[in-house]
Amino acid sequence: MDEHPVAGAAEDLSRRTFLMKVGIALNAAVALAIATPVVAYLLGPVIKRKEYLQWIALGSADDFAAGETKLVSFQNPFSNSWDGATAQVPAYVRRTGTGSGASDFTVFAINCAHLGCPVRWFKESQLFMCPCHGGVYYADGNRASGPPERGLFTYEVKLDNGKLLIDAGQIPTLSNRASADGPCSGGEWPQEPAEKALANIVKTIEPYKPNPYESPRG
Amino acid sequence: MAWYKNIYDWLEHRLQLEGPIKHEIMHPVPRKTASWWYVFGSASFVLLMLQIVTGILLGLVYAPSAAHAWDSLQVLNHDLPLGWFLRAMHGWGSNFMVAVVLIHMAQVFLFGAHKYPRELTWVLGVFMLLMTLGMAFTGQVLRFDQDSYWGLGIGASIMGRVPFIGGPLVHLMLGGPMINGATLTRFFALHVFVIPGTLLAFTAMHVWMVLKLGINEWPTPGRIVRRETYIAEYTELAHKDGLPFVPGAVWKDLVFSAAILFAVAVCAAVFGPYGPTGTPDPTIIATVPKPDFFFLWLYTVLSFLPPELETPFLLIVPPIAVAILVALPFVAGVGEKSWWRRPVAVFSVMFIAICFGVFTHLGTYTPWSPIMNAWSGAPIPVELLHNRTPLERQGANVLQQKQCRNCHQLGGLGGQRGPALDTVATRLTEDQLIRQVLQGGGNMPAYGAALSPAETTALVAYLKTLRPHYQPPAVDASRGVVAMNTK
């Protein structure tokens, strides 16, 4: 349709084409120079991940009774004023013994190891249950049933002057444990396979004696 | 001359749009193509426009801050006149858009419209579908409530399964190590700028190609698509037995679009806006997170996969599915268009539709999830307690107190994760009951550590009573054999 006749000879055109290419190259160079820091800006959340992890106090060790599992929450160490309620993170503290060593405490992340939904503790049946897809865990965090492929995530724990501290600061996922630094209980897979754990449980059970008073129903 | 004609002429003298627009809208389309089956594309477009308009209106009030988003939705729902209606239109508009886009895609596929020369139109459409689903997910996040918070957790858990770079990907997705304000702002940017901008650009190209390549002709069995002859055949058909698009075909698009908009408005007015559900406070863990309607099928699939298959499935199947959709017009770009001659295509669409329907339906009542309050909220039916001994009634107490009902129904109440227990005594003997309770198995946790011997005795005594009077109790077959041999 439109022809756009160009005034000027062919050699003129080649010179202008060259200048146009120079112009494109200049723009590309400027764009690259501008875009490089922008890439760093976009990757910001990935680059400075070490800063996120901190030792966070969950309160005095005496707040937790031996043999009990308690729901607690702590403030995300890396939060902004506009985070609102999401700055809080829930967790479960389980105290196994009356001792005052870090090994007497296990702190579980709230997130199911399957897809991160919040698990609920039932002290009567000594189970954690997940409302999403039915993942179930034993009191020690080992997987009991359902789709999770491992036990609950745990935080690294230490005791300092009677205070219970955990190393926390990121949402636990299968590749990104609750505590990312160093070898910690949360980073490992359940120490004992389910069958062995089960054998231990069964060993502790007294043999079943039939009740002489029960009446079979007809 | 009328004053408005003067204004029109003044504008047209400068804009010069009349010629190109007339040229496009008067282009001939094959007569049979002016059909009610061809209205879904334009309806998708109209719904996209609806979403943009309602989205901008909501954007006037919505505060993309994790601390305030939920409150601003409450203001929209309750304080501003018709704010609830706009939220409802936007929410229902998204449901309708996902549905109409899927119907459009199935129709295009069944009518062979992805074949030469419309391959690129199809490929762009595949990406537009992905962007529509992306809009649906990010939109659900912006409704910053409990479902949104834990939905992000599910997204992060899926990302975290990617080998090697899973960890950084989670941080990239959440804008940091946790779900918080930074997460909401980046999903806001995605939902409001990035995805809609790209979607609009893709839509422009998609429509441009429909105009340039012509609307697909009605498929006729035996009318084969060949690269060498198709364009000439189509042009001949459109000109010999065609209609101008306006008004020949467009009136049906207009009527259907109006009907769809009306349906969205009726749903919005009758059913109201979606949520928000509880505040996005992660310390409130008494919540049962659930995705919106269009992701329920995925929620279902994730509950049925065996643990060892889950990560491979999540990471391999979606790319393969997209690759198949993209490759489709290049693998099957010529040949028959009619569904009468493409049984595999018809079967595939039916199969996918049935799977989608069944999984979505399962997702509405999640039989795989324990019902968290069944142990305290679902009583044992009285007739199942009649004529029981004190020991057996104590067993019923244990059954209730140890949360068995969260996964097991009695009298139609309780969770469906495990089998209903109304007739359990017809299936399991006493020994089997004891073993099952203590050691678990078959997806049941072992209760050995949580039950005292006395509790186990009582529980099993009660379970043994759970059978109808006309059915015999389960017997150990091996005992019968032993009894016979010792006679």
Q: Is residue A206's pLDDT more than 60?
A: no
Q: Which CATH number fits the domain that encloses residue B310?
A: 1.20.810.10
| Assigned token pair, B29 | 């389309």
B25 and B150, same domain (yes or no): yes
What's the CA gap between B269 and B263, in Å, rounded?
10
Number of domains in chain B: 2
Least confident of A68-82, A176-190, B430-444: A176-190
Q: Is residue A189's pLDDT more than 50?
A: no
**C-beta atoms of B182 and A80 within 8 A:** yes
B255 and B344, same domain (yes or no): yes
Query: B155 to chain A, minimum CA–CA distance in Å?
Result: 8
Query: A125 to chain B, minimum CA–CA distance in Å?
Result: 5
B211 and B260, same domain (yes or no): yes
Does the beta carbon of B153 lie under 8 angstroms from any beta carbon of chain A? Answer: yes
pLDDT below 70 — which residues of chain B?
Answer: 487
Does the beta carbon of B457 lie under 8 angstroms from any beta carbon of chain A? Answer: yes
The pLDDT of residue A191 is 41
A-contacting residues in B 290-319 (Cβ below 8 Å): 299, 302-303, 305-308, 310-311
B325 and B451, same domain (yes or no): no
User: Around Cβ A13, how many Cβ atoms within 10 Å?
Assistant: 11
The pLDDT of residue A186 is 36
Residues of A in contact with B172 (CB under 8 A): 43, 45-46
**B9 domain residue, yes or no:** no
**B5 domain residue, yes or no:** no
B346 and B387, same domain (yes or no): no
**B408 domain residue, yes or no:** yes
Measured CA angle at B290 (ends B316, B302), to 5 deg: 25
B19 and B89, same domain (yes or no): yes
> What beta strand segments (E) does B265-347 contain?
none
The pLDDT of residue A192 is 45
Q: Which is more confidently placed, A184 or B477?
A: B477
B313 and B382, same domain (yes or no): no
Q: Which CATH number fits the domain that encloses residue B381?
A: 1.10.760.10
Among candidates B354, B355, B399, which has minimal Cα distance to B376?
B399
**B1 domain residue, yes or no:** no
* ipTM of the modeled complex: 0.89
b (16+ CB within 10 A) / e for B324-345 = ebeebbeebbeebbbbebbeeb
Give the pLDDT confidence of B448-480 residue by residue, as tens digits: 889 999 999 999 999 999 999 999 999 888 877
Q: Is residue A204's pLDDT more than 90?
A: no
B306 and B226, same domain (yes or no): yes
B-contacting residues in A 197-216 (Cβ below 8 Å): 198, 201-202, 204-206, 208-211, 213-216
What's the CA gap between B265 and B52, in Å, rounded?
15
Q: Domain range holding B451?
A: 374-486
The mean pLDDT of chain A is 80
Among candidates B208, B51, B225, B67, which has minimal Cα distance to B135?
B51
- The residue from B365, B385, B411 where one domain ends is B365
**B383 domain residue, yes or no:** yes
B344 and B384, same domain (yes or no): no
pTM as predicted: 0.88
B37 and B135, same domain (yes or no): yes
**B182 domain residue, yes or no:** yes
What's the CA gap between B247 and B244, in Å, rounded?
7
**C-beta atoms of B280 and A84 within 8 A:** yes
- The residue from B332, B365, B398 where one domain ends is B365
What's the CA gap between B438 and B44, in Å, rounded?
56
**B64 domain residue, yes or no:** yes
Query: B376 to chain A, minimum CA–CA distance in Å?
Result: 12
Residues of B in contact with A48 (CB under 8 A): none
B339 and B453, same domain (yes or no): no
Is residue A145 within 8 Å of B443, Cβ to Cβ? yes
Is residue A191 within 8 Å of A60, Cβ to Cβ? no
- The residue from B300, B331, B365 where one domain ends is B365
The pLDDT of residue A183 is 34
**B4 domain residue, yes or no:** no
B77 and B179, same domain (yes or no): yes
Does the beta carbon of A40 lie under 8 angstroms from any beta carbon of chain B? Answer: no
Q: Is residue A99's pLDDT more than 90?
A: no
